[in-house]
Structure formats: structure tokens, C-alpha cells
Amino acid sequence: MRLSQYFLPTLKENPSEAQIVSHRLMLRAGMIRQSSAGIYSWLPMGLRVLRKIEQIVREEQDRAGCQELLMPTIQPAELWQQSGRYDDYGKEMLRIQDRHGRDMLYGPTNEEQITEIVKSEIQSYKDMPKMLYHIQWKFRDEVRPRFGIMRGREFLMKDAYSFDMDYESSKRAYNKMFVAYLRTYDRLGLKAIPMRADTGPIGGDLSHEFLVLAETGESGVFVHKDVLDFEIPSDDVDYESDLQPIVDKWTSLYAATDEKHDESAEAELGDQLLNARGIEVGHIFHFGTKYSEPMGATVTDQNGDEVALQMGSYGIGVSRLIGAIIEASHDDGGIIWPESVAPYKIGLINLKSGDADCDAACDKLYKDFNAAGIETLYDDTAERAGAKFNNMDLIGLPWQVVIGPRGLKNGMAEVKNRATGEKEEIAIDQLLAKFS
Ligand code: ATP
Ligand code: MG
């Protein structure tokens, strides 16, 4: 993309409405604009990052054997009346009437909807188990939308649902998601720690929230330091094998949010305890027959008996993750994107646009990078050098390739690594090989 043509409305000043760094930087880097409280438009740069995160989440769900579908945002109230949640959910739910006076709602989550689908289509144990997910916008009328997309009213969520005949099988589904989550956050360049969470009236230990450490996080976290060094399951992990040892390892040491923490256990940890703040980026939860029973989602087992399905739900805050990544990865100059989610890999800076040699060299590089599938944002504008550098630092692409008249005489470019700040001179004709 040529910057001269790109719709990238960056801001030099810090917007006063933004309280935390990720919100400030998303506004300044031209990624989002507020429409109304907690509701945002995604501008091209922001959308590119959102799509990349979505894709990593998708690949790891697929790898774990979860199948993607897409459910609507608008749901009929009847479904929620059947589960009993229509009245319980309260003011966070946006309730709508259609022109015929039928009660509808904008989905804050999809347990009822997916239960209805599975109930209608699956009758026999032969078609079990199933794991299904979608990546869809949700609406929750939060009391205090804040921190930009971090606590929005409209936000993008990956929500998966598992359906099993019995608890043991349901636990296998839970473990698959647990492992998929570890891998997902790792690929996003994040350290997310699974912490025991509330299971509500069902009890048991199958509920974990995943939190990313960040000073601006809304939750207090208490965690054994060694959890931070646990190994992430590799991409050849066999999801059909017994994953319990991985889950056991990751849950072997103390890790709790302020809602569930235990002061006496913490006292025993002494200086191995890390007390910090965290952002909740995901939640996995087994809830048994909470929805299948009232909604009549049963299947016949081998003996011909009707069995209510064991269910779990598994959420990832896809849009919130952008905020979490920026909170975890930025400096005074701006965002530092991990390569896996960067909107472009390279920012190509022409230090002297209008100079025939610089233009020719940059145009050729830009063409070659594109042909090789290397995503490049090419600053071909007439801005002065300082402004170009500041802008590239702000938007945080992993690599900056700088072409100026002086280096060009010797066939050299300056390459800067945004994360480390390191600069090196590299022959222009070697750049393609370096970045391919
Ligand atoms: P929170 O405690 O932060 O309100 P929740 O318990 O309501 O979260 P879930 O219903 O489990 O969240 O939703 C799954 C994931 O969706 C959360 O882990 C979080 O990452 C994300 N999420 C929830 N609410 C919001 C929101 N208002 N804005 C952005 N992301 C959200
Ligand atoms: Mg909530």
C-alpha cells in the first residue's frame, strides 16, 4: 500500500478522551474511531490487525477439531425464554422489537442459539461429540464502556461450544480448548495465564479465565512466578491424544484473579508470588446440562435412552486482544506489533520522494516485495524525514526499510527493527532474501 493513497488518519496529539495507552495509540495510529460510547468503526489499518488475530484464532480452533459456522447477531427472544435467561440477563442485553411486535435481541452470547441448532439437527449418539464455533459481533450494554475496544459495547468474540454424551468426553473437549488457547495467545505474541474461575452452581474445576499481564488490566492477579516459564504445546500436538498432562501441568501452580484468590495460599508462596494486574482475554467453561436440559437438547444413546447433552462454552475476546497486545507491546514512540499480527511487515520509507533515483529504487523494492507476498506499507509522501520516522514508529510495523540518496549511491538501505531499535546497513539487492 502506498501511504499517499492510504486512508490512515493518524493523530500527532494524544486524544484527551483516552485513558490508557492502547486506546490512545489505536486512535493515534488511525485504527479506530468512536461512533458512540463503546461502539467503534474499524478503519483500514485497525481492520487488518483484527483480521489477522481472527485468522490465528480460527487456525487454532480448526486444529483442535472445532468447526466454524456463523450464527446471526439478532436472535429471537423465545430461545432465551426457554433457557430462562431472558429475564435474568438484565440491562446488558439489547432488546428489540421487529415490525410485527416480535421480541428479538442482539446476541450478547450464543449458548441458546447453538443449543437450538444442535437440538434440531442431532438425534443420535452416532453424531456425537461436536465442537462448533463462530467469530461474530456481540452487543452488551455495559454499564461503563471504557478503554476503547477493551470494554466496548459492540465487540468481536470467538465463541465455541462443545456437545458431549457424558462428562468424561466433555472434559476432553475442555482440554482441547485449553491447549488451543495456550497456542493461540502464544502465536499472538502474548503470555496469557490460565486461572481458576468461578463455575457457578455447577461446581467442579472446569472453568478457567486466561489473563494477560498488564498494568492497566481490570483484574488483580496473583500467580506463582514459574507459570510464566511453562512450555507452550507445539503445533504438532495431537488433539486426539490424552491432553490431561498438559492441563495438569499448567494448573499445577497457584494462579488466581482477585475474585477467587486465597490469601493463605499466597502467604505460603513468599517471594515466588507475583501480584500484578491482568486483562481477561478468554474464558473456558463447562456447564453440563444447564442449557440442554431446559431446552430439551437430548440425543439417544446406545441403549436407546434420551440423554441431555453435556456442554461447555469457550470465549475469546478477539477485538479486546488488540488492546491487550498493544498494552503488552509498545514504547514511547508507539505500537510495536508482533510480526504475526502486524498490519504490514515492512514500512518502506523513501527519504526523498521526488528524487528520481530514490523513487526508482523504492518503486522497484515495493514491487518486488509485493510480488514476493511481503506486506509493505510504502511511505511515498512528501513529508520530511523526521515526520516519516515518527509516523512509522507510531504505527509500529516490525521492520523499517529506509532508502535515501546517500546510501543509495552505494546500493545500501538502512533497516531498523522496531522492537529492538537496532539499525543495520543492508545491500538493497539482499533485502528480498532477508525478508522472504
Ligand atoms: P468481563 O468479566 O471482562 O466482562 P465476561 O466474563 O463478561 O468478561 P465472557 O462472557 O466470558 O466475558 O466473554 C468472553 C470474552 O469476551 C472475555 O474473556 C473477554 O475477553 C471478551 N469480552 C467480554 N466482554 C467484553 C467487552 N465488553 N468488550 C470487549 N471484549 C469483551
Ligand atoms: Mg462482562
Q: Which pLDDT does position 257 carry in this prediction?
A: 92
- Nearest atom, ligand 1, residue 210 CA: 18
Residue 202 pLDDT exceeds 70? no
Report the Cα 297 to chain-centroid distance in Å.
Answer: 31
Residue ranges of the alpha helices (H) in 262-350?
263-269, 292-295, 318-328
How far apart (Å, rounded) are the C-alpha atoms in residues 95 and 3?
42
Residue 201 pLDDT exceeds 70? no
User: Which band of pLDDT confidence, cut at 50, 70 and 90, is reported for residue 178?
Assistant: very high
With H, G, I as helix, E, B as strand and everything else as coil, classify residue 248: helix
Q: What is the mean pLDDT of residues 52-75?
A: 98
Report the Cα 60 to chain-centroid distance in Å.
Answer: 12
How far apart (Å, rounded) are the C-alpha atoms in residues 353 and 340?
30
User: Which band of pLDDT confidence, cut at 50, 70 and 90, is reported for residue 198?
Assistant: confident
**Ligand 1 atom 28: residue of nearest CA:** 151
Q: How many helices (H) and strands (E) does the chain have?
A: 14, 23
- Nearest atom, ligand 1, residue 313 CA: 11
Q: Measure 153 CA to ligand 2 centroid, in angstroms.
A: 10
Residue 203 pLDDT exceeds 90? no
**Ligand 1 atom 25: residue of nearest CA:** 151
Which amino acid is present at 202?
I
User: Which band of pLDDT confidence, cut at 50, 70 and 90, is reported for residue 116?
Assistant: very high
Q: What is the mean pLDDT of residues 158-163?
A: 98
Q: Among 320, 321, 322, 325, which is best to mutate for testing ligand 1, by the most ligand atoms less than 8 A from CB?
A: 320
Residue 228 pLDDT exceeds 90? yes
Q: Which pLDDT does position 369 carry in this prediction?
A: 98
**Ligand 1 atom 18: residue of nearest CA:** 282
Q: Measure 314 CA to ligand 1 centroid, in angstroms.
A: 11
Q: Measure 222 CA to ligand 1 centroid, in angstroms.
A: 20
> For residue range 256-293, what is the model confidence (pLDDT) as tens digits?
998 888 999 999 999 999 999 999 999 999 999 999 99
Residue 56 pLDDT exceeds 80? yes
DSSP string, 4-66: TTS-----SSPPTT--SHHHHHHHHTTSEEEEETTEEEE-HHHHHHHHHHHHHHHHHHHHTT-
How far apart (Å, rounded) are the C-alpha atoms in residues 333 and 335?
7
Nearby residues of 176 by Cβ (< 8 Å), 6 or more positions away: 64, 65, 66, 131, 239, 243
Residue 171 pLDDT exceeds 70? yes
Q: What percent of the chain clears pLDDT 90, i.e. is strictly above it?
A: 96
- Residues in contact with ligand 1 by the CB-under-6-Å rule are 109, 140, 142, 151-152, 155, 157, 280-283, 315, 317, 319-320
Q: Which pLDDT does position 250 carry in this prediction?
A: 98
- Nearest atom, ligand 1, residue 109 CA: 10
**Ligand 1 atom 26: residue of nearest CA:** 151
Closest CA to 94 of 136, 139, 137: 139
Q: Which pLDDT does position 259 carry in this prediction?
A: 87
Residue 122 pLDDT exceeds 80? yes
Q: What is the mean pLDDT of residues 16-35?
A: 97
- Nearest atom, ligand 1, residue 150 CA: 29
Residue 413 pLDDT exceeds 80? yes
Q: What is the mean pLDDT of residues 372-392?
A: 98
Q: What is the mean pLDDT of residues 35-63?
A: 98
Place of cell 514459574: 226
The lowest-confidence range among 8-22, 55-69, 193-207, 227-241 is 193-207
| Dihedral of the alpha carbons of 336, 339, 343, 347, in degrees to the nearest 10 | 70
**Ligand 1 atom 14: residue of nearest CA:** 315
State the DSSP code for 381: S
How far apart (Å, rounded) are the C-alpha atoms in residues 309 and 295?
10
Q: Which pLDDT does position 266 carry in this prediction?
A: 92
**Ligand 1 atom 22: residue of nearest CA:** 317
Place of cell 482440554: 175
Q: Among 112, 136, 157, which is best to mutate for testing ligand 1, by the most ligand atoms less than 8 A from CB?
A: 157
> For residue range 301-311, what is the model confidence (pLDDT) as tens digits?
999 999 999 99
- Nearest atom, ligand 1, residue 153 CA: 27
**Ligand 1 atom 8: residue of nearest CA:** 280
Place of cell 475496544: 149
Q: Measure 64 CA to ligand 1 centroid, in angstroms.
A: 22
152 grid coordinates = 466496548
When comparing pLDDT for 196 and 60, which is higher? 60
Nearby residues of 292 by Cβ (< 8 Å), 6 or more positions away: 115, 119, 163, 298, 308, 309, 310, 311
Residue 200 pLDDT exceeds 90? no
